[in-house]
Structure 1
């Protein structure tokens, strides 16, 4: 009798774990997806080590709404296309709604399928160009006003040990890394912070005409962002199809400046539950 009871208890435990995993999978697929910020391309809006939940209900659902599961250490690499690839290819969404200019969006890279997070700048049909670091949309310059500087410590950041680029570089270990800061105002009135490090090729671009059903994205840390200014086959992002949008980022839930979230002394308490502009 004891053996049967033990066996029954084990089966019930397995069922409980399976049900919990199924519920978690449904929740992540339909509602919110966790996302860690791995790079500095969205500073100072988002910092390396920020943790947020992506609102998947914001734009409806497509194949990209299915989660990818990648754990290289144990050989697991399950892509969203492996699970929901049947819905890929029509560039449409179920219960879809259009994103708004200025939204901070997580999307799947059009070529390699990695998740990216950038700010939506260009809508379908827009003509987008960068001249001397200022964005022009449909031949009109966006608002751009100086807003002091953004400062951080010059040291490795996050689990990958990424070192920041500095306008006052080179800066030694532990020194103050400075970037120019501006407030950018898009045509629909959305204002947000952008950073400038130096003058480089991406500060002057050709005119990009955004195709129907696609979007143009840029990082807020303009000189340190691989985005729609470079084609996806050349290491950038290019134009992103509507179906590749995963969801909208609205709020930072947690933030850690260290190599692990367990290093409580590196937590950024002032960023917990911070709303995003």
Structure 2
């Protein structure tokens, strides 16, 4: 295997809370961008807290991702752009949509949130990013709270598309242990796997979702497009994964125990 093949078989992602996700799967293309869902909660709401700041949702993606979302999903445009924390705060709206879009964009990544008002004033939009720090790097976008005692930054999941296989949604066990069946799964080099049938409400046919548990992650792997029903392809991928870990930031390492049991 050539050096460039070695590089593409292993990838890292710095999550918004400072953790580091590592995925290694020799023979597979891992070059698709990472994304993540983040929740910011207010631990002790205080008088005068603007409405909506007790719970904020951010989606982190590669820089430029929401140009396509703004154009294709709500047929909108960027109405305002201001410099902010080494990047840009961008406000998007559409006359046809019932919601707006706000994005902090850095050199490599961006954090986006939907707005309840499609034409919310820029001064109000900036409140959605109030009290947060954005620290962008090629490995990921870290989001910090200016007042850690008041605000908590929590990563709900990180995601990656594996071409020809499907979509990985990776969570830490504390948030996803209920996804793991109570019975033992099939052994793979990094943990255990299960295949479960799901029946989407908007589709007539069922599909199989593969669940994968390691000492520090719980992952669901769903198919896509023409590969949607090829469950064996997803199971084969997980058999060939040699590393999938997301150590807790406070320990810096996994315990090696079954965190999902």
Scaled to the shorter chain, the TM-score interval is under 0.3
TM-score w.r.t. length of structure 1: 0.22
Bigger CA radius of gyration: 1
Q: TM-score normalized by structure 2?
A: 0.23
Greater percentage in helix? 1
* Structure that is richer in strand per residue: 2
Instruction: Name which structure has the greater RCO, CA cutoff 8 Å, separation 6+.
Output: 1
